[in-house]
Structure formats: structure tokens, C-alpha cells
Structure 1
Amino acid sequence: MNLFRTKSIEQMRSMAENSGMKKSLGAVDLILLGIGCVIGTGIFVLTGVAAAKYAGPAVILSFIISGLACAFAGLAYAEFASIVPSSGSAYTYTYASLGEFLAFLVGWNLILEYTVTASAVASGWSGYMVGLLKSVGIELSPAFTLVPSDGGIINLPAIFITLFLSFLLVRGTQESTKINRILVFVKLIAVFIFLILAGPNVDTANWEPFMPFGFSGVTGGAAIVFFAYIGFDAVATSAEECKDPARDLPVGIIGSLVICTVLYVVVAAVLTGVVPYTELNNPEPVAFALRYIGYNIGSAVVGVGAIAGITTVLLVLLYGQARIFFAMSRDGMVPANICKIHSRYKTPYIVTIAGAVFVSLIAGFAPIGLIAEMANIGTLNAFLIAAIGVMVLRLTKPDLHRTFRCPVVWLIAPLAILSCGYLMYNLPFDTWVRFFVWCGIGCIVYFTYSYQHSTINIKQSSKNPAPQIDDINTSL
């Protein structure tokens, strides 16, 4: 079995140019897409949890470490994006450099990443919305806002927002990016309101001890807050809807990553400087911090911004999930009949709807809990393999035209491998167990379906048909 057969880059480029999807995104759209997915749950929820349970005020360092790991991987992504402007992000890049089997496993883990993360974000959106409605006197029944394990029947708000955003995505990428722009603007205003109001109230005494859980707490926090950064991968999934992907994708990936890292570090510094880190383990730490220092109105405004922020994260996650499925189904890794473009809206509508239904069912009925950490390990694995792939292509195809070249690739790519590997090492043992179980299921799917239905395998079989009985008898 040829498990490491690679897909032709020229073929990928041709398929991308003739995918049927509308090319409407520019560099600014991609930067906002990245910000839309990265600035959200991480900044409004995860910052406080990571500070309280893992790193203390040194959560600042946790964000820097995670940001550096993403920056190293992002530079490798940017080079790949300039070579292979095709949907699928790390899945597509691995297919072009390291072969089909590894590509399938990367795509399989990315599907889990987007599905689990989107479900968790939808649940978070529901919590913020229920709290906001409660603050204005509208109290919804817990039976319809909580999952069964938490004492409810169904989380309807989580299901509603997931299906509504999938409707927007089916209607068109350009329409979705317009909504994304508005919501990104709203949440950035909320972040700056927090910094303006809370900044003057920073008490440096709250930063002592700076590293209460030791450096292991900092690295453990970095592995957890990595959840906040995974959205930049979604930028790479938009390749086939870009006006000039070879130029705009590297700008979108690197630009959004730099902006988001700066915002995370500044917000984490102000947050832990205003409120003792031991009091930040709550679902709305940024809004809580403003109430803590007496800005109740500002807290409400930030709460609205948080809802806008989480909405954009969910929008981009659903978008990225559909594009990964689209790329894999087109290659025969999953059933090809879900790889259809809507005749009017020019979007992969079947896979968008199917993915959103799956996400809404998880968000509506299942507790996310520790399984959300699987999103981190799957993404870190994809980043690590992409870094290996970019070095392999430098050796196997050195003359390939690259609009963007990863600087000092023989330093940056190994640093990406080491940093992502180190963060994976610091994830809980249970996460590793679930990761191997999920990969095991993926292997079963690959060997029982994907290998035989792969477009490469079908083409190779048609060129080299199996000998017939009559041919064998003749030769004898």
C-alpha cells in the first residue's frame, strides 16, 4: 500500500482555480477573519481561568509562549499558502508534502478540532446571552438553556446561534464577512473600553507572586490558552475564496496573529493587575473585573462585546469546519456527494449544513468538559506536521515558486516543531488517551474507505488496471 503518495501541487492549483466558489476575500478580510476567530472565547473567558488555575499573573508569559509557537507555525503556514492556494489548510499542505495517510490524520484531527471547539464556543455564547438577558429582567428556563448533565433538557440558545450562523454561511462568504467585520469592530471596541477603564486601576501588588504555580504552571497554562489561538488556522482554509491567495493569505495569517497576540498579552496584564488572580475563575472575567472596580455600565458594555466576539469565533469555526470537510470530500477521503457547491450562492452548502447540525447537537445535549482539550492537541499536531512538511518541500522541490518564503526556515521550522511538541507534552494524560483513540478510529476509516476511494487511488487504478483472467491464461 502506498500510504505516502502525494498530490500534485499543479493539480491542487488547478482544482482551486476551478472550484466554483466565489473569490471575494482580500487581505483585510483575511486579517479580520483571523481576528474574528482568535479574539473571543480566549480573551473574554480563558484568560481568567488560565490565570486562576494554572499560571497566576504569569499567564502573560503563557500567552507569549503560545503566541510564539503559533508564530513559528504561522510562518510555515504562510509559505505553504503561497505555494498551495487550496482549501484545507494543514490537511492540504501535508497532502502535498508528506503523503496521503498523514494528510488524512491531520484532516481527521482538524475536523475534531473545529467541531469540538465550535460546540464549546456555542455553549459559551449561550451562557453569556442568558446572563445578559437576565440582567435586563428576562430569565429563561434552565430546562432549555442547560444540557441534561447540568440539570436541563436542551441548550436551545446554543443550537439557535449555530444554525443561524450556518444559514449565513450558506448564503455566501461575502455576506458572512460583512457580519464578521461589524462584530469584530464591536468586540474590539469592548476590549479597548476595558483597557481604558481598567488600565488606570492596575495595582502591581496583584502581580505578586508573579509565578505562583512555578514555570510548570506557565507551560501548563500555555498549553491550555493555545485554545485561544487556533482560529488563525481558519484563515488558511479560505484560500479558494481569495482574490489573490498567494499574496493575501500570508498577510492574513501573520497579520491577524501579531495583532491578536499583542491584545492577549495586554489584556492579561491589565486583568491580573486589577483583580487578584485567585478570583478570576469565572465565566466572564473581563466583565467581572470592571464590576470589581465599580464600572457596572462598562461591565455591561463589555458583556455585549463579549457576545459579539464569541459570535465571530463561532462563525469562523463553522466556516473552517466546512472547508476542511470540502477539501477532504473532494479528495475522496470522505463521501464525495457532500462536496457540492450551491448553484446560486457558490458555497459548499451540504457540508456546511451537516457540520452545523452535528455541532448544534453536541452543544445542545452534551457537556464539553475536558474533551475541549482535544482541540488543542489536534491543532498542535497539525501545526507540527506542517512545519515538517515545509522543510520536506524545501528539499524535494527547492525550485518551486514561492511568493512568500519562511525566513530562516531551518531555524523557524524546528522551533515550531519543538514548541508545539512541548505544549502537547504539557497537556493532561486523559487528553492524550482521547487523541490516540480518535486517531485509531481515523485509521479504521482510512483503511476501510478513504484509501480505496481516494482520487489518487482511483486514477492510479484506471491507469494500471488489474489483469483479467483471460489475460493471465494467455500469458500462461
Structure 2
Amino acid sequence: MTTAHDRRWRRRTPDEAVLTGGTTLKRSLGRIDLTAMGVGTIVGAGIFVITGVAAAEKAGPAIVLSFLLAGLVCVLVALCYSELAAMVPVSGSAYTYTYATLGEGPAFLVGWNLLLEFVIAGSAVAIGWSGTTVSALDSLFGITLPQAITAAPAEGGVVNLPAVLIIAALVAVLVGEVTLTAKITKALVGVTIGVLVLVVAVGAPHIDPGNWVPFAPFGWSGVVGGAAIAFFAFLGFDVVAASAEEARDPKKDIPFAIIGTVLIATLLYALVSAVLTGVAPFAALNNSAPIATAFGALHIGWIGNVIVVASIIALTKGVLLIIYAQVRLAFAMCRDGLLPKRLAATGEHATPVRLTLVLGVCCAAIAGLVPIDIVVELVNIGALSAFAVVCAGVLMLRRLEPERDRPFRTPLVPLVPILALIGCALMALTLDGLTWVRFAVWVAIGVAVYLGYSRRNSVLATTMRGPAKI
């Protein structure tokens, strides 16, 4: 039971988080499903979208080291995630964990920032899908779409229509049963892994070592800055955590899938980024379709065309899973009363139809109207803030409830959480000042929403006033 101190603090214990009451989701995902969803989000979304931007603007060929650094920090964060995910196996990811460790106010802000992360991430990958598809239509079929319908207003267009359309199509898939999403994902993960292996195998013989000189043109600060951008590529393990309420055996399978996802992704990213920066000068990769750019310049025939088409398939999967994760996060917040409960209503397939439609519209609007460089940095600052709070939560819960059963224990506490916190802070400090301003505005809006609506309408507040109505 929650103590009087917890009530004043508005902290919901892990036991209460599991016994959520109200609308729940169906537990139908196994270990392979969860790992495929994590790998499917990470391996495909980031590498096909932000490799070029991070290399050209931050790290140069040393983007390989940036991916390794980002991967190392993510492994540390994933170990912290795994401890809390095994203890609190319900939807909501870092938001739910923070509710069980630091209390309702911090939990709302973490959820608010994760919504920024997921909505913007879905938009970013959709923009990458658009860039790759437009490039493929031009190179494969000689169809050149006008800039007016393929670029944001700030880039000289009117709307990025392909990005809007792919989001609309995938929202239609997500309103169906979750097992359909899992089946589609497992099929597309195979395609994604295959194309990345093909990228390495085909591109390696065409590497020009001269493209790696200088290897780190922007110095160590560039490597760290590149890691901050590359962090976007590792958001898939958060998708695994967001799936906890639909996992059949979450206490065992969620930690396995989270850690396995990060390790697989780090290896593949390091290899692919090394090949891309060896095949083409890093400055030429500064766009939303770096693989298409690099291999299009090689003129290597049908293999290059296969890679481009498979890239489109992989990006499709990335958009699908990111929208899936953002809906599960918002579902948890609505069910807790921190956002309007009516939005958490599920349809005939036990999926949150209203939330899927609302968040899909938000994603489509951002993807259609905002340039990718702004989008990527906003994703990362939202993610880094949430990850830091999760690591702090592990330390806090170890102090508050040291005897609590932990199906998975983060090793070397407090060293691992502290190192993860330091890594998140270092990468966050490299982000552009304007990104911090945008983030501060978003947080200020979140504080206003919490104080004006969520604090008095939450399920926990209702319980404190009298009998819960959930």
C-alpha cells in the first residue's frame, strides 16, 4: 500500500502501477516479437535518416565513433530501463517508471517530453521516407516530383506530401489488432537487416580511404555532438518498454529485448556509417536520404536500386513502430487521468483508436511542414531528458525500497546509472541553443497543462479525495 508520505508526494508504487485498473491492453507479444519491434525501430529509422546530417554537420567520418559512443550510453540507459520495466510491466515506458519513483509531477513532465520525442521522431522518419522515395522515383523511373509537394515551406516547398501520406497509411494499419503490427514488423525486419548487410557488402569494395581524411575534422567535440544526433537512431529500445503491457512475460522478455536491441543496433550502425563515409565525401551526405545519395553516385546497377527500394521498406517500418510507441505512452497518461480519459477508449481490436488518429494527425502536420534538421534535434533533447530521469529513478527506488523484488537488477549500481546520467548530460549540452529554447517552451506548456488540468483530474488525485472511480 502507498504510505501517507507517498500520497503527499503523489508517488504511485510499482505495485499500484501494475494494478492500473480501467482499460487494459491484450498481452499477445512474445520475446521475438518484442526484439523485432525494437530492432525494427532502431535499425532502419536512424541509419536511413540522420547518418548524413550527423556526419556533415557534427563528426565527419568519425560518425563511426559517434555511433559507438551513443550506443555505449544507450546500453547503460537500457540496463536502467530494464530494471524498472521488469518491475512495472505496463504501458508508459519512462513515464510510468517515473510515477513509481519520483512522483506524479515529474512523471507528467517525462511523459510530456516523451510525447515530444515520439511525435517528432515519427515525423523525422516520415521525412526520411519521403526523401528516399522521391530520390528513388527520380533515379529508377525518371519521375521528378515538384519541390512544392516534397519539401517544407522553410525549404522552398508548400508541404511534404509523401511524408503526410505515409503517416496516413500507417495510422490505418495501427487501428487494427496489435498482432497485425507485430507480424508486419517481423517480416520487414528481415528486409531491413538484409539491406544493411547488402550496404556493407556492396559498398565496402568501393570505399575510398581518402574520404576518411581527415577522420575527425571537428575534433572530439564533433564526435560528442555527432553522438547527440545519433542518439535519435537508438530510440527503438524505448518502443520495447512502451510495449510492456502487451508482452506475455514482461519480467523476462522486456529486459532481454531492450538490451539485445541496443547491442544489435550499435554493431550495424558502426559498420554502415563506416561504409557510407568511405563511399562518399561526408559533406555530400547532408540530406534526408544519405544511403540513396551515396549509392546513387556509384552507378553500380541493379544492386544499388535494390538497396534504395529496401531502404524505403525499412523506413516504412520505422514510422509504423514509432507511432505505435507514442500511442501507447499517451494511452497510459490518459488512463491515469493526466490527459483526457476519453482519448484512451479502445476499439473492437482493443487498440486506442482515438489516440492513434489524433497523434497521427500531429505527426503528419509536423512532417509536412517542418525541415528535418530542426526535427531531429528536438527528438534528441526530449529523449535525453527522459532517459536521464529513468536513471535517476533507479537510484531513487533503490534507496526508497531496497528490499523490493527486482526480476532484473541493473549491475554496478550506482556506477552504471551515474555514468548514464553523465553521458546524457554531455550529449544534451552539445545541442543547439535554439533547440534548448524550443524545449523550454514545450516544458513550460507542459507545466501549465499539469497545474491547470492534470493535477486535479489524475486518478491518484481522485483516490486521495475519496473512492477511486476507475
| Rounded Cα–Cα distance in structure 2 between residues aligned with 1:347 and 1:328 | 15
* Aligned CA distance change for structure 1 residues 73 and 346 (closer, same or farther; 3 Å): same
Structure 1 position 194, deviation (Å)? 1.1
Matched, 1:279 2:297: no
* Aligned CA distance change for structure 1 residues 28 and 94 (closer, same or farther; 3 Å): same
Question: Bigger shift: 248-257 or 302-311?
Answer: 302-311
For 2:50, the equivalent position in structure 1 comes to 46
SS of residue in 1 equivalent to 2:181: helix
| Rounded Cα–Cα distance in structure 2 between residues aligned with 1:145 and 1:436 | 30
For 1:470, the equivalent position in structure 2 comes to none
Aligned residue runs from structure 1 range 454-469, under 5 A? 454-462=458-466
Structure 1 position 150, deviation (Å)? 3.6
| Rounded Cα–Cα distance in structure 1 between residues aligned with 2:57 and 2:412 | 37
TM-score by length of 1: 0.93
* Aligned CA distance change for structure 1 residues 283 and 463 (closer, same or farther; 3 Å): closer
For 1:439, the equivalent position in structure 2 comes to 443
Give the residue type in structure 2 aligned to 1:207: W
Matched, 1:415 2:419: yes
Matched, 1:99 2:106: no
Candidates 246, 249, 255, aligned match of 1:250 = 255
TM-score by length of 2: 0.94
For 1:377, the equivalent position in structure 2 comes to 381
Candidates 331, 335, 339, aligned match of 1:334 = 339
Native 8 Å contact 1:288 1:299 kept in 2: no
Matched, 1:314 2:319: yes
For 1:31, the equivalent position in structure 2 comes to 35
Structure 1 position 88, deviation (Å)? 0.5
* Aligned CA distance change for structure 1 residues 122 and 391 (closer, same or farther; 3 Å): same
RMSD: 1.9
Matched, 1:215 2:195: no
| Rounded Cα–Cα distance in structure 1 between residues aligned with 2:36 and 2:453 | 38
Candidates 449, 452, 455, aligned match of 1:448 = 452
Structure 1 position 231, deviation (Å)? 2.2
For 1:188, the equivalent position in structure 2 comes to 193
Give the residue type in structure 2 aligned to 1:248: D
Matched, 1:365 2:361: no
Candidates 102, 116, 119, aligned match of 2:120 = 116
Matched, 1:198 2:203: yes
| Rounded Cα–Cα distance in structure 1 between residues aligned with 2:53 and 2:87 | 39
Structure 1 position 400, deviation (Å)? 1.4
Native 8 Å contact 2:45 2:319 kept in 1: no
Offset from partner CA, 1:167-209 (integer Å, 9 cap, x none): 1111011101111122221121111111111123334343222
For 2:16, the equivalent position in structure 1 comes to 11
Structure 1 position 143, deviation (Å)? 3.5
Native 8 Å contact 2:124 2:375 kept in 1: no
Aligned residue runs from structure 1 range 160-175, under 5 A? 160-175=165-180
| Identical columns (%) | 44
Give the residue type in structure 2 aligned to 1:437: V
Give the residue type in structure 2 aligned to 1:161: I
Structure 1, unmatched stretches of 5+, are 465-476
Native 8 Å contact 1:3 1:100 kept in 2: no
| Rounded Cα–Cα distance in structure 2 between residues aligned with 1:341 and 1:288 | 42
| Rounded Cα–Cα distance in structure 2 between residues aligned with 1:403 and 1:439 | 34
| Rounded Cα–Cα distance in structure 2 between residues aligned with 1:437 and 1:71 | 30
Native 8 Å contact 1:4 1:102 kept in 2: no
| Rounded Cα–Cα distance in structure 2 between residues aligned with 1:395 and 1:8 | 13
Structure 1 position 144, deviation (Å)? 3.2
Structure 2, unmatched stretches of 5+, are none
| Rounded Cα–Cα distance in structure 2 between residues aligned with 1:12 and 1:257 | 26
Offset from partner CA, 1:13-53 (integer Å, 9 cap, x none): 1227x743221111111111111111223212322222222
Give the residue type in structure 1 aligned to 2:105: F
For 2:428, the equivalent position in structure 1 comes to 424
Candidates 37, 58, 62, aligned match of 1:58 = 62
Native 8 Å contact 1:33 1:316 kept in 2: yes
| Rounded Cα–Cα distance in structure 2 between residues aligned with 1:275 and 1:142 | 25
State the structure with more CA Rg: 1
